[in-house]
Amino acid sequence: MTELNIFKIEYHWYEDDHEETLLAKAIEREDFEKEIIKAKEFAESLRGIEIKDGEYLGKGYRVDCLPEYYEQIIWFLPEKLGYIICHFDERINYSIDDQSDKKLTVTKSEQKIERSALTCSTQI
């Protein structure tokens, strides 16, 4: 089995606009840093260009702002350099344990948030 390294790429923009992506590849950190620079240069080369269907990410906008550059970088790394986009749900955890009869158990723990309105039934 190949060992993959996972890299988190993110941006922060106006009005709390934020996005992050986990990418994986069997590559050393130093080589990843060279490849993300290639992806950045690719995105910069699209400055002011209207992207048509079938071209690059193909969403029909001019590449002029940080979220658009970010999307092109995230498109470039998997499509051109073989990265895998990863999804991670922090709310779910799987635990493996052994039992006395030499059997293993797998337990799933899921964090849930429940919201409900509070009302007061007594008068003050």
CA-nearest of 88, 104, 85 to 96 is 104
Alpha helices by DSSP H, listed for 20-122, are 29-45, 66-81
* CA atoms of 84 and 22, how far apart (whole Å): 8
Pair of tokens at residue 110? 């899921």
Task: Evaluate whether 92 touches 49 at the Cβ level (below 8 Å).
Answer: no
Q: Which of 36, 33, 30, 25 is nearest to 3 (CA)?
A: 25
Domain 5-86 -> CATH class: alpha beta
Please say if the pLDDT value at position 123 is more than 70: no
Residue 60 has pLDDT above 80, yes or no: no
Give mean pLDDT, residues 5-23: 94
What is the band of 124 on the pLDDT scale with cuts at 50, 70, 90? low
As a whole number of angstroms, the distance between CA 121 and CA 118 comes to 10
CA angle 44, 6, 95 (to 5 degrees): 150
The confidence band for 1, taking pLDDT boundaries of 50, 70 and 90, is low
